[in-house]
Chain A
Amino acid sequence: MQNAKDSFYMALRSRLATINPQRTILLRGSVRPGILVEEAEAPFSQLPNDVFVLRWTGTAADTDLAATMVAEQCEVIYQTCGTQSFGGLDRGRALSEMDEELLAMLHPFYTLKLCYTATPPAAMMTHVFWDDPTFAPVVVQRDRLSRNVMMTVYSYQEQGE
C-alpha cells in the first residue's frame, strides 16, 4: 500500500515540476515542487497557500482477485489568496490555474509502482492507477479560496509487500 502511495505522490510531483516549475515551496530548508504529503511533514497549524497537499483518508481492499487490489482514497487540498501584485483580486484565476495544473498532473491516470525503500527506487511488476477526480465546490473564507479534490488510487499488492 505504501509503495502505491509513494509512487502516486512521486508521479504527481515530477509531473508538476514539468507543468509549472515556478510552483515551489520552501520546506525544511529545501525548495521543492509545490506538492507535499501532509502525513510526511510536520503538522501544519494552517495549510500552506498555493501548493497541493495530499491527504490519504480511506482504504479498501478487494481480496476476491488473484492479487489483492487496494483502493486508497486520496484528497488533494489547495488554497490561494491570489498574488500580492494584484492585491488578491486574481485569486479566482489562481485557483483555476491550480485546477488545471492538477488535471494535467493526473493525466495519464497511471504510473509505474516503485519501491522507494531501495536506492535508487526499484521498479515493481504492476502499475498504480486512479480514477477521475471529483472536484468539490470552492470554499470561500474571506480572502482565501480553497478546494478539495477526491480520487481513488488503485494498486495490486505484490509479493513481499
Chain B
Amino acid sequence: MLADALLRTAGGATALLRVTGSNADTNMSEVGLVPTTFAEVAVSPALMRKLRPGWKEGDQSKWELLVSATSVEQQANALDLPSAQSLFAMTLAVTVAGQDYLIESIASNEAFGQAYLYRLLLREARQQAL
C-alpha cells in the first residue's frame, strides 16, 4: 500500500499489458498465419523511468517500469492465473502512453516475503506494419 501511494505521488500512470487471448492453439497460429486475439490488462499505479540511453546504432532505449504488486495480483486473480509471473509470461508487450515496449526482464521487490513492487526492464518496440 505504501508502494502504491509512492507510485501515485510520483506520477501514477497506467500501463497496459497486452496478453494473448484464450483462442485455441492451431497449426495456423503457430506459423504466424492467424492473428492471435489479444486482451489489454491495465495495471496501475505505474511509473516509467528511462535508463541510460543506448549508444550503439539501432539500439533501442531501455526503460524501467515500476508497477504496483497489488494491481498485478488483482489482475492475475481476475484472469485466474496462479501467479504474477504467469501474467508476465503471457504478456507480449506493454503499452504506456501509446508507446509499445517489450519486456526484457522482470524483478520484484519484496518485504516480509511478499512482493510490493514489480520492476520490468523494457525496451522500446519497433514500429510494426499496419
Contact = CB atoms under 8 A, between A and B. Distances in A.
Interface of A: 5-6, 9-10, 13, 26, 28-32, 36-37, 39-40, 42-43, 45, 116-117, 119, 121
13 contacts: A6-B33, A10-B27, A28-B25, A28-B90, A30-B24, A30-B25, A32-B30, A37-B30, A37-B31, A39-B32, A40-B30, A42-B93, A45-B105
Contacts of A32: 25, 30
B32 A37 contact: yes
B interface residue count range (under 10 / 10 to 19 / 20 to 34 / 35 or more): 20 to 34
Nearest to B25: A30
A45 B102 contact: yes
Contacts, number: 48
Given A45-B104, A116-B28, A121-B27, A29 B33 contact: no
Q: Looking at chain A's contact residues, is the secondary structure mostly helix, strand, loop, or mixed?
A: mixed
B15 interface: no
B91 to A, nearest CB: 9
Given A45-B102, A45-B104, A28 B28 contact: no
